[in-house]
Structure 1
Amino acid sequence: MNKDYILAIDQSTSGTKALVVDKSGSIVARSSTGHKQMYPHPGWVEHDPLEIYSNVKKTARQALELAGIGPSRLAALTLTNQRETAVMWDRETGLPVYPAIVWQCQRTADVCAAYKALGHEETVRAKTGLMLDPYFSATKWAWILEHVEDARVKLAEGKLLAGTIDSWLLWKLTCGNVHATDFTNASRTSLFNIHTLQWDEEMCGLFGVPCELLPEVKFSDDVFGYTEDSELFDERIPISGVIGDSQAALYGQFCFQPGMAKATYGTGTSVLMNVGEKYEPTGKGNGLVTAIAWGMRGKVTYALEAVIRTSGDSLKWVRDNLGLFGTFEEMEQLLAQAPDNEGVYLVPAFVGLGAPYWNPYARAAIVGMNRGTGKAHIIRAALESIAYQVRDAVELMQSESGIRLRELRADGGASENAALMQFQADLLMQTVVKSDVAELSAMGSVYMGGLGTGFWESPADIPARQKGCRTYEPSMDPDRRERLYAGWKRAVSSVLNIG
């Protein structure tokens, strides 16, 4: 029987999607489900790893059913994932010793501040490309080892394993036969040397995370192993195309040349720019990190990234916590009632601020309200906060790297909002190209896995997914643009002063 489909698993911060993709690059079926977000203390964010794996199996089976095919038609299963989220589990029982600590979680902010005070950040940045921040995985694993008694016991017994979400899912999918990750996920842990392409013993010692807990690191287009869980499929499907979600979107957007960039508008927003196969930062960081864009066909490509902690999640907060709208159709109607923000800004520092501020202690605020402010203004402020933060990131990337942005390509759930994309083009004074496929992270992993398993012979054979993209050109009056942006900078300044 022909193996003429790929099943893509997209495990994100808010939920899990499964897509069935054919050789033309078309999505023929999709299934999705959310998982519980746990906030046990202010600034803490956790997920249940077992719920996530259960959702992977459920959405995978549903997607195949909707496509009307069986697993025997699959050439590969590919995997893209929320990146820095940290999991530890018992290698014998396959059970986590603690909930997954999500990338948004700020519980180790004081630990990172202490490391900075001791002068460790320069070494961490030189080796890993990252700054000292609770965003990344190392201090999350260290926290589990320090605070979870069961983890300490299992560590002493040699039963403990650690990994990001991709490693956890690979372990479960292969019934414990594979403990691995790829270069992109490894480069987000603060433990991986992006120059030697190995786990760094000095970093592991600094953070107190033994190297032996960590997964083998592979190229994204390697075959990592085969599905073995009979509750999922009764056939062994090769697993390839394993790559972190933001890097997967960069590849899915065909940003193959240095200077090409994308912004993935999800729970947070990652602005990622290809900087080539060799890269030495020209600036001091200021909120930028150097990561591995992808490793494939025996070579590694680097990327410069600016991380925005909260973007699309701001709209979810306005909807769910404030109850200002019920559906996105209602949101559009309300936005039409307030074509201008009238000086109202939402600074979405719910879990601190990312690039270029990198202040984990900042807290969210709505500023500039007057007696005439209504819910439409607050909704607009939440929407526009996404675009302001992306402009912050783009300006930082250009000034610090010395590399001029060639083009910004947009994807992710919030990129479906035409008002947001137009406002983004206006603020950047640049063309914004919005992909016709929202699931670019999944498609990037599909392209990787397809090449790794011979589904497509070469990158030239990958279907051109940029056809039908929508292009947004800047049209805002320059004076208004700068007035609005100046107001944003003042609003952020007020939050940082309070923080």
Structure 2
Amino acid sequence: MLSIDQSTQGTKVLLFKSNGQLYRRFSKNHRQLINDQGWVSHDLAEIWQNVLSLVSQAQQLVRENGDEIVGVGITNQRETAAAWSKKDGHPLAKAVVWQCARATQLCDQLVKQGVAATVQAKSGMPLSPYFTAAKFDWLLQNETAVQQANQQADLCLGTIDSWLIYQLTAGASFKTEPSNACRTQLLNLETQQWDPELCAIFNVPLASLPTVVDSNALFGLTDFDGELDHPVPIHGVLGDSQAALFGQHCLEFGDVKATYGTGSSIMMNIGATPIRSKNGLITSIAWRLNGQTNYVLEGNVNYSGAVVKWLQEDLDLIKDAAETGQLAMQANPKDHAYLVPAFSGLGAPYWNDKAEAVVWGMTRTTRKAEFVKAALNSIGFQINDVIQQMQRDVDCQKTTLKVDGGVTKNQYLMQFQADITAAQLLLPNFEELSGFGAVYVAGLALKLYTPTTYKQDVLYESYQPKMISNERQSELNGWQHAVTVVNQNFV
């Protein structure tokens, strides 16, 4: 089985054996196109070429071993907005990445029009430039090629899953599924179809959007532009956070996982009923399998792993991300500097698009190690904020948190997360939970995998909370004070 994990930073192609075990990983980064205004874009053509290049490497290995690829799963960065030609599939503009807040003014205008409550009621999400609908609106208003394609009925608008499916099937399949579609802010959470009123609010033509099918549907056949000897089915597609939830086997009410990527997604399984948050969280769709829908509460943190990258690439404080854990452990425990990494506003549960980053509480004891510690702690604090609100919404106090993503290699952060959340933290024995989740869905659909496949493949390392309650509360009080400073000064 082959899994495409199309993340914010790059492409991963993963090969899984017929017993579900990860066999080989191929990866390639794509450029992060950031202009002087801080807008973040991706080159869709570059992403597509990277997919083909990696699949070529994977297929060469498979062929040498006398094996064959029999099916494909796809997982992807979710809210990124793509626009391309319906006729020949070429990109009409650079993709607007989920991190990008260029549509903030559009959302401010919609708030003045009084439609924010309608958007949240129908989509399950607060009106925000974070989601794809406002990005589609921006493309339609600002990109000439997108405008012309729309006038000529030649426009496809979609998230990255739809872009890849379209390319993989040479335009034969223009589809998406609920875990991605619900993140656009155009899907009606109850009907699970594109909502005409939401589309009208964001000026998005219904005809430009893909068909919404089950997450384990047949999305089409692909030979990866001739790389494979014969076409194989694409049979499982999930947004990266939902794929990680499935890969973590968080299938029961109240199960929680946190994915540490460029940003972080924290999800709680809430079953078959879309519970609406009263505490600044989002109600989304986890997946729809064989017509049965599962919902989640979700909170998104804009900057988690990206904070470490900022330390390395922009501040030049570290040469390698692996240094951060050791530095944090060397920090003066009496130093109480807090970093609030609101570089592109604050996400859940605060939803402050105007917020700017702040370092609070620095003294002469705040040196390099202390600053790095504050940066790592900011990740744990933000994730804990979301979990606390989830527990209030559903009155569920489960004390286990499953985690995944590259930053989970950081032992200091994992222990801090267990301490500050007062929960047992379970770290799986391999990182590729999103890729595994997507291919697991596809493998089940193809009858290649069974429900027991997960149990034999995923083992966990445990972190137990060690921080005493008074110390924990003191840390939380300091963090909340710093966040309050940000929210009061940037409105």
Instruction: State TM-score, norm by structure 2.
Output: 0.96
Aligned residue pair count: 490
Distance 1:397 1:365 in 2: 26
Counterpart in the other structure of 2:176: 181
Cα pair 1:43 1:105 within 8 Å, conserved: yes
Matches within 5 A, 1:115-264: 115-264=110-259
1:25 partner SS: coil
Residues 1:466 and 2:475 are matched in the alignment:
no
Offset, 1:43: 3.8
Distance 1:70 1:95 in 2: 35
Deviation by residue 1:37-71 (Cα, 9 ceiling, x = unmatched): 11124342111111111111122222344556579
Q: Which runs of 5+ in 2 are unaligned?
A: none
Distance 1:271 1:381 in 2: 21
Cα pair 2:99 2:130 within 8 Å, conserved: yes
The one-letter code matched in structure 1 to 2:129 is P
Matches within 5 A, 1:338-349: 338=331, 340=333, 342-349=335-342
1:192 partner SS: coil
Distance 1:371 1:462 in 2: 50
1:223 partner SS: coil
Distance 2:338 2:275 in 1: 36
Distance 1:191 1:66 in 2: 41
2:434 partner SS: helix
Cα pair 2:4 2:73 within 8 Å, conserved: yes
Distance 1:67 1:375 in 2: 47
The one-letter code matched in structure 2 to 1:366 is V
Cα pair 2:400 2:425 within 8 Å, conserved: yes
Relative to structure 1, the CA distance from residue 244 to residue 188 in structure 2 (aligned partners, 3 Å threshold; closer, same or farther) is: same
Offset, 1:406: 5.3
Matches within 5 A, 1:327-342: 327-338=320-331, 340=333, 342=335
Cα pair 2:20 2:453 within 8 Å, conserved: no
Matches within 5 A, 1:79-478: 79-281=74-276, 283-284=277-278, 286-338=279-331, 340=333, 342-405=335-398, 407-456=400-449, 458-467=450-459, 469-478=460-469
Relative to structure 1, the CA distance from residue 72 to residue 227 in structure 2 (aligned partners, 3 Å threshold; closer, same or farther) is: farther
Deviation by residue 1:131-181 (Cα, 9 ceiling, x = unmatched): 100111111011111111221111111111110000000011111111001
Q: Which runs of 5+ in 1 are unaligned?
A: 1-5
Offset, 1:12: 0.5
Deviation by residue 1:235-268 (Cα, 9 ceiling, x = unmatched): 2111111110000000000011010010001101
Relative to structure 1, the CA distance from residue 71 to residue 376 in structure 2 (aligned partners, 3 Å threshold; closer, same or farther) is: farther
Deviation by residue 1:173-213 (Cα, 9 ceiling, x = unmatched): 11111100111000101111121111111111111001100
Counterpart in the other structure of 1:486: 477
Residues 1:495 and 2:469 are matched in the alignment:
no
Cα pair 1:29 1:66 within 8 Å, conserved: no
Cα pair 1:261 1:406 within 8 Å, conserved: no
The worse-fitting range, judged by mean Cα deviation, of 330-339 and 443-452 is: 330-339
The one-letter code matched in structure 2 to 1:363 is E
Relative to structure 1, the CA distance from residue 329 to residue 192 in structure 2 (aligned partners, 3 Å threshold; closer, same or farther) is: closer
Deviation by residue 1:96-126 (Cα, 9 ceiling, x = unmatched): 1110001111011122122223332222122
The one-letter code matched in structure 2 to 1:492 is V
Relative to structure 1, the CA distance from residue 329 to residue 408 in structure 2 (aligned partners, 3 Å threshold; closer, same or farther) is: closer
Distance 2:104 2:423 in 1: 35
Relative to structure 1, the CA distance from residue 230 to residue 389 in structure 2 (aligned partners, 3 Å threshold; closer, same or farther) is: same
Relative to structure 1, the CA distance from residue 483 to residue 241 in structure 2 (aligned partners, 3 Å threshold; closer, same or farther) is: same
Counterpart in the other structure of 2:5: 10
Cα pair 1:287 1:354 within 8 Å, conserved: no
Residues 1:74 and 2:69 are matched in the alignment:
yes
Cα pair 2:257 2:266 within 8 Å, conserved: yes
Q: Percent identity?
A: 41
